[in-house]
Structure 1
Amino acid sequence: MADLKARFEAAVAASKTLPQRPDNLTLLKLYALYKQATGGDAQGQRPGFADMVGRAKWDAWNELKGTGGESAQQDYIDLIESLK
């Protein structure tokens, strides 16, 4: 597990130095996987209609409900590797 955590942290660092900025859907997926890996299932209320960005982020995170932290970490690592 320590190895997975170290690889996850390395992938988070690598996400800041990608050769190209990912498209918005990929950014939402990265956000959701990160939040699921570090915080578990989506918490709080869904943002209102006026907060479209917050709502999209919350919805993407909420779609991962029930996904385990280790699984989310591995999916994040795999996605970052595919973007390099």
Structure 2
Amino acid sequence: MADHDALRQRLDETMDQQGPWTARSPWTREAVVGTPRHVSAPDRLWRWDGHTYRPLDRGADPDRWAAEVYGRPFDEAQITDVAHPR
């Protein structure tokens, strides 16, 4: 099972190293660090594999789902819905 606290810490450290935390907006860091992503993220996310979007389901693969939730800085969106052509 994914260690959400460790993933949150790693994301914070990554953002510290990459420099998105600015001195002009400390509230941004407080909001991102203080809000656990796994609590508000939907149970299904979507990931582009180079050809199509593939589902990532929390119940089927919780570690991969958690890696998607915490794997990227806050300025990169996770895909939560994909419209399929009819």
TM range (shorter): 0.3 to 0.5
Structure with the higher fraction of residues in strand conformation? 2
Question: TM-score, normalised to structure 1's length?
Answer: 0.33
Q: Which has the higher helix share?
A: 1
* TM value normalised by structure 2: 0.33
Give the structure with higher Rg (CA).
Answer: 2
